[in-house]
């Protein structure tokens, strides 16, 4: 998510700055009017940022919930880039923390429900009801090494930016999941897992106790 300054904000700034070649104006706007304009600009900027943050989250989380690993991988890359952009200013960090109070925009539960969940046993078609039934059987592709490593990086970023994300991680038994990753996965996942392990234990007594 790369935020751009709105055109109306730049134009408004130019109109308020006096030009050296322009003729002197007979009357200057009062301080109350200038304050009201500044408040309006700030309000519009906050609304624009909130729309961009929520749109970026919804788009990335939609892919992160997908059944296919390559789509989840794309969603995780978008989430990681999104968190890096959010971390550049306090205002966007606050907006991200606000969005995490909405269940549809929470990142950590999506990570544990999809990329970081334990591999399920192979689903076999036991009867023709799965084929001719009204609802088809859902088959989800297993998580790849790159997907798990990216999910752990996203988990680390969420916990560092949003303290309540450590609570969400505890609800999904994050310590046990990370211990399983450390004992069964390769070097790529283990490196990301150690960083994520530190982040979920920061200022989190329940995770520390586990």
CATH of the domain at 189: 1.25.10.10
- The answer to whether residues 147 and 73 touch, using CB atoms and an 8 Å cutoff, is yes
For the whole model, what pTM was predicted? 0.76
In a domain? residue 20? no
Alpha helical stretches, state H, the chain: 7-16, 31-64, 69-86, 90-99, 108-110, 129-132, 145-161, 165-171, 174-184, 187-201, 205-209
Question: What is the predicted pLDDT for the residue at 42?
Answer: 73
DSSP 142: P
What total of structural domains would you count in the chain?
1
Q: Going by C-beta distance under 8 Å and a sequence separation of 6 or more, which residues neighbour residue 169?
A: 108, 112, 155, 159, 200, 204, 207
Q: Which domain holds residue 199?
A: 41-116+143-209
Report pLDDT digits (tens) over 136-150.
Answer: 666 778 999 999 999
Element counts in the chain: helices (H) and strands (E): 11, 0
Bigger pLDDT: 118 vs 190: 190
In a domain? residue 11? no
- Is residue 129's pLDDT more than 60? no
- The answer to whether residues 160 and 83 touch, using CB atoms and an 8 Å cutoff, is no
In a domain? residue 126? no
Return d(Cα 4, Cα 20) in angstroms, integer.
Answer: 28
In a domain? residue 23? no
Any idea which of 45-59, 75-89, 98-112, 170-184 has the lowest mean pLDDT? Answer: 45-59
Question: What is the predicted pLDDT for the residue at 6?
Answer: 52
In a domain? residue 129? no
In a domain? residue 70? yes
- 200 Rama sector, left if φ>0, alpha if ψ -120 to 50, beta otherwise: alpha
In a domain? residue 133? no
When pLDDT is cut at 50, 70 and 90, the band that residue 120 belongs to is low
In a domain? residue 46? yes
């Amino acid at each position: 998510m790369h935020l751009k300054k709105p055109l109306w904000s730049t134009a408004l700034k130019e109109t308020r700055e006096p030009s050296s070649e322009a003729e002197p104006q007979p009357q200057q706007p009062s301080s109350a009017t200038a304050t009201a304009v500044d408040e309006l600009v700030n309000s519009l900027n906050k609304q624009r940022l909130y729309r961009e943050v929520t749109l970026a989250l919804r788009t990335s989380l939609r892919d992160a919930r997908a059944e296919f690993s390559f789509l989840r991988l794309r969603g995780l890359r978008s989430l990681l880039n999104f968190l890096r952009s959010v971390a550049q200013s306090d205002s966007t960090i606050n907006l991200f923390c606000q969005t995490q109070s909405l269940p549809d925009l929470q990142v950590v539960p999506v990570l544990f429900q999809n990329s970081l969940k334990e591999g399920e046993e192979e689903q076999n078609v036991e009867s023709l009801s799965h084929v001719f039934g009204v609802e088809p059987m859902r088959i989800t592709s297993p998580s790849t090494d790159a997907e798990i490593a990216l999910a752990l990086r996203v988990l680390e970023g969420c916990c560092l930016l949003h303290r309540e994300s450590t609570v969400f991680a505890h609800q999904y038994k994050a310590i046990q999941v990370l211990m399983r990753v450390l004992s069964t996965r390769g070097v790529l996942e283990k490196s990301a897992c150690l960083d994520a392990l530190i982040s979920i234990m920061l200022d989190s007594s329940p995770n520390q106790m586990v």
